[in-house]
Amino acid sequence: MLNVNRIGLGAMRLTGAPAWLSRDEGVAVARRAVELGVQFFDTADSYDLGRNEELLADALHPYGDGVMVATKCGRICVGGEWFDLGRPEYLRQQAELSLRRLRVDCLELLQLHRIDPTVPLAEQVGALRRLQDEGKVRRVGLSEVTVGQLREAEAITEIASVQNRYNMEDRASEEVLDYCESRGIAFIPWRPVAPSADKAAALAWLLRRSPVMLPIPGTSSMRHLEENMSALDAHRTVV
């Protein structure tokens, strides 16, 4: 188990479109995030063809005490279009590449980016469980799942986190959040701030909504990063 401060950083905007930061700019934002108290960084093997993971390693490795870089596998982006790809051999391949890019022997948290509807859920989660058994993955998480899918996955391995879209205006995952709270599973809302919302107020609302809430607002701006972190309270959540 690892305790982390309750606002993380969604790292997607640190490389590639739409911000097109230079490497030095992306590294500076990631390092500033640590200075401001961010301990949880969310990336994916598919973000900018792996370059997002590489940038976080350039910025943060060797990772300090309490800093967790979580990554995801099971999705690809081709020509701006996203596709789910949950074949077990692909998930293993991407996990191995993430290990290399993040410069670690074990991924602290590997999340299934999406459930591929063409592959049985048990085979996808089973692939991640085998990586756990081999010591290459410490914790397993899921993204965009229902309570039923979450329960099915829990029968295969302990689920540490769920990453569903959720914010003040989009509460379709309310039932999933309640289930996560009852089970002590970290709930990581992606797109935590609705377009029309005040960022600091929206993040503060999320933190009050549930003790397992771990928002990961993304930014490529130092100013926005500092504004986001102003909502951080003294509580911590276990992931």
Supply the pTM of this predicted model. 0.94
Catalytic positions: 47
pLDDT at 2: 52
Give first-to-last CA distance, the chain, whole Å.
6
Q: Is the peptide bond before 62 cis (omega within 30 degrees of 0)?
A: yes
Q: What is the pLDDT of residues 84-123, one digit of tens each?
A: 999 999 999 999 999 999 999 999 999 999 999 999 999 9
pLDDT at 15: 97
Residue partners of 133: CB distance under 8 A and separation at least 6: none
pLDDT of residue 236 exceeding 70: no
